[in-house]
Amino acid sequence: MDIRIRIGKRIKELRQELKLTQEKLSFKAEVDKTYLNEVENGKRNISIVNLEKIIRALEVKFEVFFTGID
C-alpha cells in the first residue's frame, strides 16, 4: 500500500478516536482543511513539518503514530 494512503488512514483513525472533525483537527494543527482532507485520502504528499503539526494536534507520541501504520 502507498505510504501516502497509510499515513492518511492513520491520521483519520486517530482523529476519529478523538471524535474530531477534519475542520477541528485542521484548526488545531494549523493546516488548511482541504489539505488535511487530501492527506487523509492519500491524494497529497505531506511534508514532515505538517506531519509533525498533525501528530502533535492528535496528542500522540511519534512512536505511537508510526506503530499503528500497517
C-alpha cell at 9: 488512514
Distances (CA, A) of 4 to 19, 26, 28, 45: 22, 18, 21, 6
Q: Architecture of domain 3-62 in CATH?
A: Orthogonal Bundle (1.10)
Residue 23 is predicted with a pLDDT of 98
pTM over 0.85: yes
Residue 53 is predicted with a pLDDT of 98
Residue 69 is predicted with a pLDDT of 82
Which tens digit of pLDDT belongs to each residue from 8-59? 999 999 999 999 999 999 999 999 999 999 999 999 999 999 999 999 999 9
